[in-house]
Amino acid sequence: MRKFLHAVMVTAFALVLLAGCAGIPKGITPVENFNAQRYLGAWYEIARLEHRYEKGLSNITAHYSMRDDGGIDVLNRGYDAQKREWRTAEGKAYFVKDPTTGYLKVSFFGPFYDSYVVFGLDEADYQYAYVTSSDRNSLWFLSRTPHVTDKTMERFIKKARELGFATDKLIYVEQKSVAGEKTFPMHPLKN
């Protein structure tokens, strides 16, 4: 019985530690003067490092909206062509420091949080964003439009490579119409 209780306590402690994992990779600096209201709305995923929960998906989008508790609701959506169906993931995010720093913690699985670090942003128009999590195994290039110019993509790759991301492993997300499927609602920004 004592061993069982010890195992339960160790597991509970580990879960508490994991629930608070929301660090920033060394050398990455979140954007300052971040404006959550301007960031809200719909984004297209242009490129990413592979994750098992996005594997095989195309037409990936993210939609952010304000929560009543000051956090941000997150709705991610992608199309699984093999199963011919849309997959969604709903989560919530909260600012770690203050709402003017692009550093949030996000959860899709109950009490477990990971970092959501905006380290690059088109501050003039909020048309693209570079995002990572608590390590360099996560990287996303988001855009307000389903396609970006070659020059915009080159800037993203250059910055990501300079910061130590494995840009040779980037997945370029296919963004095109899906025949017979309802498209993701792209809501206008609310200012």
| 67-119 pLDDT per residue, tens | 999 999 999 999 999 999 999 999 999 999 999 999 999 999 888 999 999 99
Q: Is the pLDDT of residue 184 over 60?
A: no
In the numeric block, which tokens belong to residue 109?
A: 């699985």
pLDDT band with cut points at 50, 70 and 90 for residue 180: low
What's the rounded Cα separation, in Å, for the pair 148 and 105? Answer: 27
Using alpha carbons only, what angle is made at residue 182 by residues 176 and 187, rounded to the nearest 5 degrees? Answer: 80
Q: Is the pLDDT of residue 20 over 50?
A: no
The DSSP 8-state label assigned to residue 2 in this structure reads: H
Q: How far is CA 98 from the centre of its chain?
A: 18
CB atoms near residue 23 (< 10 Å): 16
Query: What is the pTM assigned to this prediction?
Result: 0.83
Instruction: Give percent above pLDDT 70 in the chain.
Output: 82
Report the DSSP beta bridge partners of residue 113.
none
Domains of the chain: 23-172 (2.40.128.20)
Residue 19 has what pLDDT? 39
The lowest-confidence range among 3-12, 46-55, 178-187 is 3-12
